[in-house]
Amino acid sequence: MTLRYFFMDEKMITIRDKKRHSPGVGKRAYAKIYDINLPGLRASLLLFSAFFLCLFIYSCIVPYSETTLAQGMVITAKGDIQVRAKVSGTIVALPIREGEYVKANQILFTLSQDYGGKEGSVMEYESQHYVDEAKRNTARVNSMTTSIANLKSNQVSQLAAIDAQIAAAKVKVIKARELVNNSEETFRSFKKMVSQGYVSKLEITQRENEVLNAQLNLKLEESAILQLQSNRTAMMDNTQYQIDDLSTQMLYLKNRNSEIERIMATQGNKSLSMLAPTDGYVVAINFPPGKAVRQDDEVVVVIRHDTRSPLEGYLYIPSTGAGRIKPGDKVNVRFDAWPVDKYGSLTSTLEAFYPVNIDPRSALIPLEQGQTYYLARVKLPASFTDPTHRRRLILGGMKIYADIHVDSRPLIILLIAPLERARQRFLT
């Protein structure tokens, strides 16, 4: 038996080598044999290989599209006519249907102005409302008339004051010119006496300074006259602008009072029929019979001259996504309309792209401030078929969203793009 000694921490540790005396160990004490189903393993590997091969072929064949989101509004080429209720009341008759062709002066709907409530009829309420409005307008007209008279009176007094100042300044100019003439004559006399030795050069210099000072005073007085005349013109223009503005407001209020008188003179009936202003097709009826509406508050009927005429959509594209946009790009248009389930989406083509910055404050729809936008135009059909296979007319003023397809590449390019970026960054 062999003994091995190790010294650690000043203590002797004896380790016995038991290699010779190790008991015999059987074969199955440390290992176990398992049976492998080789055909099943091969089938699984083949299945995984086929799956990854199909995925690779799919990613090489199927493209993915890069899109830019834009928003805008539908604009009708010939314009839609919105017929509103002239008075408040309830729709009691609606003899037209959506898509029907109507002629000018044809009855579109009838309003009843009496709902039989405890507060009285709508006609009485509207009459009192018109009377109160006419009184307010008359009071404003009288107030504006007084203001115009005061403006004219103030203008006369201010003109008189400025004219007096101009007259005084002209007198000063005359005296300043006389002083200049006297100074120049004195200076010339002194120059003649210089050669004879009667005056010194210092006196000549003093006389020359007096001439210059007199000329300077003359220029200042003439400038004061020009300034007073400029102030006079500005005051007259400002006063006239205020008078014209008040006169315009007075004219509007007087015309409104005349319109109120005509309305009250024709309010003898409790029902009022609205007529078609022109020939055209009824493309929308927003309220059914029995719906109460207020005067000039709700659009009831929209009439279009030609339902086959195409429409246009104006899109506002953020500058961050407008780099590769060009006319002819494919556009997927979605409508932000109520009810949403009635309107799906349609595919169109970008007709024009204007690379000119658009001020968000001048856009047709609210846009995010601080962002730069470009304008584009897309052609839209007059109607399309919704998911329920029903023909829907597109209305002017609808807000739209558009996905503009700017590029199309195989899917494999998207998958290997991170590897390519890593190679260019670390290996190139």
User: What is the residue range of 246's domain?
Assistant: 122-265
339 upstream amide cis, omega within 30 of 0: yes
| pLDDT for res 154 | 92
- The pLDDT of residue 2 is above 50: no
| pLDDT for res 347 | 84
Strands (E), 52-158: 63-76, 80-84, 89-93, 101-102, 107-112
336: enclosing H helix or E strand: strand 330-336
Q: What is the pLDDT of residues 59-116, one digit of tens each?
A: 777 776 777 888 888 877 566 777 888 877 888 888 888 878 888 888 888 887 754 4
Average pLDDT over residues 377-385: 82
| Cα→Cα distances 191→177, 182, 184, 212, Å | 21, 14, 11, 16
Length of the chain: 428
Domain check: are 257 and 370 in the same one? no
- The pLDDT of residue 10 is above 50: no
Query: What amino acid occupies position 6?
Result: F
Average pLDDT over residues 383-391: 73
Q: What is the pLDDT of residues 136-156, one digit of tens each?
A: 999 999 999 999 999 999 999
- Rounded to whole angstroms, the Cα distance separating 114 from 125 reads 10
- Rounded to whole angstroms, the Cα distance separating 84 from 293 reads 9
Average pLDDT over residues 377-395: 77
Handedness of CA 66, 69, 70, 75 (dihedral sign): positive
- Cα 127 from chain centre: 39
Domain check: are 100 and 175 in the same one? no
Beta-bridge partner residues of 275: 107
In a domain? residue 15: no
- The pLDDT of residue 411 is above 60: yes
Q: How confident is the model at residue 11 (pLDDT cuts 50, 70, 90)?
A: very low
User: Is 81 in contact with 277 (CB distance < 8 Å)?
Assistant: yes
Q: How confident is the model at residue 269 (pLDDT cuts 50, 70, 90)?
A: low
Q: What is the pLDDT of residues 83-99, one digit of tens each?
A: 888 877 888 888 888 87
Over the chain, what is the mean pLDDT?
78
Q: What is the pLDDT of residues 280-328, one digit of tens each?
A: 888 778 788 878 887 776 666 667 777 677 788 888 888 877 777 888 8
Domain check: are 163 and 238 in the same one? yes
Domain check: are 294 and 317 in the same one? no
Query: Is 165 exposed, middle or buried (CB count within 10 Å of its CB: 0-12, 13-18, 19+)?
Result: middle
Domain check: are 242 and 167 in the same one? yes
User: Is 284 in contact with 395 (CB distance < 8 Å)?
Assistant: yes
Q: Residue 57 — left, alpha, or beta (φ > 0 → left; ψ -120 to 50 → alpha)? A: alpha
Domain check: are 129 and 261 in the same one? yes
Average pLDDT over residues 24-39: 56
Domain check: are 368 and 390 in the same one? yes
| pLDDT for res 128 | 79
Average pLDDT over residues 364-388: 81
- The pLDDT of residue 14 is above 60: no
In a domain? residue 29: no
In a domain? residue 11: no
Average pLDDT over residues 342-370: 78
Closest CA to 71 of 415, 426, 358: 358
The number of CA neighbours under 13 Å toward the Cβ of 184 is 8
Q: Can you state the angle between helices 122-194 and 201-265, rounded to 10 degrees? A: 170
Q: How far apart are the first and last CA of the chain?
A: 65
| Number of domains making up the chain | 3
| pLDDT for res 90 | 82
- The pLDDT of residue 120 is above 50: no
What's the whole-model pTM score? Answer: 0.42
Average pLDDT over residues 170-193: 86
Query: What amino acid occupies position 40?
Result: G
Domain check: are 297 and 315 in the same one? no
| Least confident piece of the model among 257-271, 361-375, 381-395 | 257-271
- Cα 266 from chain centre: 41
Highest mean pLDDT: which range of 91-100, 114-123, 131-140, 413-422: 131-140
Q: What is the pLDDT of residues 195-247, one digit of tens each?
A: 676 777 788 888 888 889 988 998 998 999 999 999 999 999 999 999 999 99
- Percent of the chain at pLDDT exceeding 70: 79
88 Cβ contact list (under 8 Å, min separation 6)? 113, 122, 125, 126, 292, 293, 294, 295, 297
What are the two backbone dihedrals, phi and then psi, of residue 265, each rounded to the nearest 5 degrees? -70, -25
- The pLDDT of residue 13 is above 50: no
Q: What is the pLDDT of residues 336-354, one digit of tens each?
A: 765 545 566 788 888 888 8
- The pLDDT of residue 167 is above 50: yes
Domain check: are 187 and 257 in the same one? yes
The number of CA neighbours under 13 Å toward the Cβ of 322 is 21
Domain check: are 182 and 101 in the same one? no
The domain that contains 170 carries what CATH number? 1.10.287.620
- The pLDDT of residue 6 is above 70: no
The residue with tokens 């004559």 is 185
- Where is the domain boundary, 281, 305, 329? 305
Domain check: are 227 and 339 in the same one? no
User: Is 137 in contact with 257 (CB distance < 8 Å)?
Assistant: yes
